[in-house]
Structure formats: C-alpha cells, structure tokens
C-alpha cells in the first residue's frame, strides 16, 4: 500500500508541496483548502503532469477532511501570507484560528499521523498544533531550520562561488528575525567558514539569511516565498516516509534541552519513520546560548498571547 500525505492549504506553498511529493513518488496526495474548486483544480492539474513527468501517484483535491482519512503525514501550510511591512508576529492570531481548526480536523481523520507545520509564525503554530492534537512530541514538527539553513547555504555558496552541495550549515532558534546561525559549525567541504571569509562578510550573510523571507516578500509585493519553503517541507516528508533518519534543523518541542522548556524552537533532530527520533544538544558558547535564549523568549511572547486566546 502506498503512503498517503495530506497537504492543508492549496496556496503556493501547499500546491508546490503536492507537486514535489508527487514528482518524487513519495505518496498519494490529498490537497485540502476551504476555497471551493481550488484544491480540486490544482490536484487535477498536477495529476495530469504525471504522464509527462513520469510519476504515477494519486492526487485528490477536497474542501473537507473525509478524503484525508488515514494519512501518514499531514503538512499544514494553510494561513494568511505575509505582506510587505508585516512581521511573522503580526500573523499570530489570524493563523492561530486556521491552524487550530486544521489540526482538529486532521487528527479526527488521521489519529496516527505525523504533523508538519509550515504556517507562520512557525514556532507558535507548532505549539498550537501540539496542544490541540495532544500528540506525543515526536509527532509534531516545524519546518523552519531546513529553510533557514538552505538560505544561509545559498548565500555562502554565492559569496564563495562554490557548489552549494559542499556547504553545510547549522541554524538554531525561532523561525524569523531571531534565528541563530552558528557560523563556527558552518563549513565548505569541511573547511571552517572562518578560514574562507572574514567576520564582516559572515555577519552580512547571517543578516541576509535572517531576513531571507522578508527580502522575497519585498520583491514579490503581493505574496511570500514558496519554492524553497515547499522544498524544505518535502525534504522532511521524504526523510520520515523513507525512514532516512536525516539530521535536520527543525522546530521541536523542548523539555529542558538547551535550557528551554514548553516551547518549540529550532534544533538539530533526527527524522525517521516515528517523526523526531532524537534531539541533538550542541555545546554552545555563551554568546550563542544568549542568542538562543533571546530567540526562545521571542517565541514565548507569542505563546503567552495564544494562551490568553485558548
């Protein structure tokens, strides 16, 4: 029996997730959206690409969750997008309601699924889904660090004019302006970044990575990034479905790791068939820990607002 993945939200991120999952033949896909006709039309369009692209999976579009029953993974992308001048935090209460409702329906029809959150503000939406679903912490995961790391790696590769596949990087913390790229753990084919670039350049690249999403919003004007976010989410889906056990930076529920409790924060995790199979604790330098604490505090502020809403 083939695996089954539900993608909630048929906007740019969700539709591209569906397309990438189909293209890799990872699973049958159900695309869900509240707008009548949109998920049905996009699913049919992606399905009709199969004969040309050579993939052979089932794609279904729906406005309700009945067709999603018994999904292995539910990827929640639904929500309001960022607009120019809007921070991820501005999205908080709008998207809280969207994620709360989506989680309730997903869990009702797929009680054994793993939830991957993409909706912003990411870390707060993970916390929402975790408490609404009442799932174990290994089954609720946020897509943030994979995207943030991809952006950081891209800018490093551009700066050095090297293959991006040779660049490894680590980004911790909340998704957004307070993310914590760890430059000393970043390298090019094992060569420390500090031996290739001076600190001023590294700082500039870190700043650009932190503002990677806002930079794209500024260009698009009427939307936000979707190609890279969908690619990042699907890398997580693939690692879980194929039990690849990739070590990726993801938003995970912490219970004391890194001195943080009851929050979702980006940390390196092992992703396998059970979801998060291990959280890796890196020995941080004082300034790195301070930056991570600051990032966690920003996430906590959002959670405190949500708690008043619950």
Residues labelled catalytic: 175
Instruction: Identify whether the C-beta of residue 13 lies closer than 8 Å to the C-beta of residue 228.
Output: no
| Residue 202 neighbours by CB distance under 10 Å | 19
Task: Report the C-alpha gap between 145 and 276 in whole angstroms.
Answer: 14
Alpha carbon 91 to its chain centroid, in Å, reads 16
Q: Which long-range contacts (CB under 8 A, 24 or more apart) does 35-40 make?
A: 35/10, 35/63, 36/63, 38/10, 39/10, 39/63
- Would you tell me the crossing angle of helices 122-133 and 92-109 to the nearest 10 degrees? 40
Q: Characterise 78 by phi-psi region: left (phi > 0), alpha (psi -120 to 50), beta (else).
A: beta
Instruction: Identify whether the C-beta of residue 175 lies closer than 8 Å to the C-beta of residue 266.
Output: yes
Token pair recorded at residue 110: 């797929």
Instruction: Identify whether the C-beta of residue 224 lies closer than 8 Å to the C-beta of residue 81.
Output: yes
Nearest to 121 by CA among 78, 82, 92, 144: 92
Task: Report the C-alpha gap between 139 and 72 in whole angstroms.
Answer: 11
Task: Report the C-alpha gap between 38 and 41 in whole angstroms.
Answer: 5
């Amino acid at each position: 029996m083939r695996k089954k993945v539900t993608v909630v939200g048929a906007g740019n991120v969700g539709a591209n997730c569906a397309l990438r999952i189909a293209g890799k033949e990872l699973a049958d896909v159900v695309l869900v959206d509240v707008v009548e006709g949109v998920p049905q039309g996009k699913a049919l369009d992606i399905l009709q690409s199969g004969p040309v692209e050579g993939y052979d999976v089932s794609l279904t579009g729906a406005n309700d969750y009945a067709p999603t029953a018994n999904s292995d993974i539910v990827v929640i992308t639904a929500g309001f997008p960022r607009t120019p001048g809007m921070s991820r935090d501005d999205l908080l209460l709008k998207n809280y309601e969207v994620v709360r409702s989506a989680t309730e329906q997903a869990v009702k029809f797929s009680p054994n699924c793993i939830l991957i959150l993409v909706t912003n503000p990411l870390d707060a939406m993970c916390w929402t889904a975790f408490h609404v679903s009442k799932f174990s912490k290994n089954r609720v995961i946020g897509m943030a660090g994979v995207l943030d790391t991809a952006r950081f790696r891209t800018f490093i590769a551009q700066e050095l004019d090297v293959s991006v596949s040779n660049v490894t990087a680590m980004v911790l913390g909340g998704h957004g302006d307070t993310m914590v790229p760890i430059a000393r753990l970043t390298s090019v084919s094992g060569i420390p970044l500090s031996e290739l670039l001076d600190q001023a350049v590294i700082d500039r690249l870190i700043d650009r990575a932190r503002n990677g999403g806002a930079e794209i919003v500024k260009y698009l004007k009427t939307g936000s990034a979707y190609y890279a976010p969908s690619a990042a989410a699907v890398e997580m889906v693939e690692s879980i479905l194929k039990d690849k056990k990739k070590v990726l930076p993801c938003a995970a529920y912490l219970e004391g790791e890194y001195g943080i409790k009851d929050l979702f924060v980006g940390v390196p995790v092992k992703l396998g068939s059970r979801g998060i199979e291990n959280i890796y604790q890196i020995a941080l330098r004082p300034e790195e820990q301070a930056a991570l604490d600051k990032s966690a505090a920003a996430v906590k502020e959002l959670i405190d607002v949500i708690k008043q809403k619950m």
